């Protein structure tokens, strides 16, 4: 029950703005005031817009071979979702180097569990590729509380779904390959 309460309080934060304190050197403060005045905005809205526009991160191999920095703002539509599970998975694909340690543990559980992925049977082994289009996000969402509990250590790893049944072992109603 404590987990549910924690999740609700964490989720409710996302619906509100958060007040933060920052220090600006006199020069930067003055320039910020001028910028705000010229645009008839508050300093806080200027700072917020600047963060949204200029929050650049180093490129990651999943973004391609470009050496240019890519802003989080450019990927905002891909990164944001109302569900925490979707946000974590998107961050895992787009910028795994930005995952916290706890998020890395959760992402690793998702990556290691074949039940969350489209794949195919290779002999007697279910194989999958950890690619965005191959992830079955609805299954991750269904098992989210269990994934979190396993990552926290309050449930064993075998609490996660085992995977798909091999049609060669008498489950002939399943296709060898999921057609997506």
94 or 57, which is more confident?
94
Instruction: Convert the pLDDT of each residue in 112-128 to its tens digit.
Output: 999 999 988 888 888 89
- Report the C-alpha dihedral over residues 14, 19, 25, 29, rounded to 10 degrees: 90
Q: 118: Cβ–Cβ under 8 A, 6 or more apart, which residues?
A: 128, 134, 135, 136, 178, 180
- pLDDT-based confidence at residue 162 (cuts at 50, 70, 90): confident
Instruction: Convert the pLDDT of each residue in 62-102 to its tens digit.
Output: 545 455 556 676 777 888 889 999 999 999 998 888 889 99
Which residue, chain included where needed, has tokens 């599970």? Answer: 85
Query: Percentage of the chain with pLDDT > 90?
Result: 34
Q: 166: Cβ–Cβ under 8 A, 6 or more apart, which residues?
A: 121, 124, 126
Structure tokens at 2: 């404590």
Burial 94-123 (b: 16+ CB within 10 A, else e): bbeeebeeebebbbebbbebbbbbbbebee
How many CA atoms lie less than 13 Å away from 132 in the CB half-sphere? 15
Report the mean per-residue pLDDT for the chain.
79
């Amino acid at each position: 029950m404590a987990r549910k309460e924690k999740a609700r309080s964490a989720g409710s934060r996302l619906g509100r703005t958060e007040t933060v304190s920052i220090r600006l050197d006199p020069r930067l403060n003055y320039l910020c005031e001028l910028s705000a005045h010229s645009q008839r905005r508050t300093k806080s809205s200027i700072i917020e817009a600047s963060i949204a526009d200029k929050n650049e991160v180093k490129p990651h191999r999943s973004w391609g071979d470009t050496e240019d920095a890519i802003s989080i703002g450019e990927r905002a539509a891909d990164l944001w979702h109302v569900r925490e599970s979707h946000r974590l998975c998107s961050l895992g694909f787009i910028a795994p180097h930005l995952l916290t340690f706890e998020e890395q543990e959760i992402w690793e559980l998702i990556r290691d569990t074949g039940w969350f992925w489209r794949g195919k049977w290779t002999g007697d082994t279910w194989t999958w590729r950890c690619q965005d289009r191959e992830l079955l996000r609805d299954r991750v969402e269904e098992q989210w509380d269990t994934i979190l509990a396993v990552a926290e250590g309050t449930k064993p790893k075998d609490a996660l779904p085992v995977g798909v049944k091999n049609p060669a072992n008498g489950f002939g109603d399943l296709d060898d390959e999921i057609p997506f």
